[in-house]
Amino acid sequence: MLLDTPICDFGWKAPDFELSDPDGVSHSLNKSMGENGLLIAFICNHCPYVHAVIERLIADAKTLQQEGFGVLAIMSNDYRNVPADSPEQMKLFARHHGFTFPYLVDEDQSVGRTYGAVCTPDFFGFNNKAELQYRGRLDDAGMKDATNRIPELLNAMRQIAKTGNGPQQQTASMGCSIKWS
């Protein structure tokens, strides 16, 4: 089912959480916050929308990490009903694509629910005070050729680093619904 994300709730304070990657290494929002802020991407392994943007997401995430942002990816799908999203498959997916950031299992889906994630991919950009400033798409290319794309998320995060605030105009991300249990 194709969904669009809601508009940004500017200033919404991100609650801390603790999730583990498939190897059991624990990560939290507070410990992952970069000096300029944090990007949280709700993704999964099987979604065609994630597949269409994953290489661009990896490249933009590396840039953000170099520019003082923390980056986390969270998988909130009910992987018991979608085996392609299992922790073992997450490890393979992350390794295959060269993730430079943690890919976390939201086992009980509580983080996805708390954050109001609705689809994959679903991007949340926070300033360094953990206030939501971006809830939009990765870029204007979507599932098409990205040769001349506008990197909307990257540009928004850079604006957040400079001003603490995201752009007022944001275009919703689009993707497959999160598979709730």
What CATH number is given to the structural domain containing 26? 3.40.30.10
Examine residue 6 and say whether the peptide bond preceding it is cis (omega within 30 degrees of 0): no
- Average pLDDT value for the chain: 95
> By residue range, what is the domain housing residue 168?
2-177
Per run of 10 residues, the mean pLDDT along the chain (length 181 residues) is 74 97 97 98 97 97 98 98 97 98 98 96 98 97 87 98 97 94 94
Total structural domains within the chain? 1
CA distances (Å), 12 to each of 81, 84, 124, 131, 144, in order?
31, 32, 11, 5, 32
Query: Within 10 Å of residue 181's Cβ, how many Cβ atoms?
Result: 9
Percent of the chain whose pLDDT exceeds 70: 98
Is the Cα dihedral 114, 86, 178, 136 positive or negative?
Answer: positive
| 113 phi/psi in degrees, rounded to 5 | -70, -45
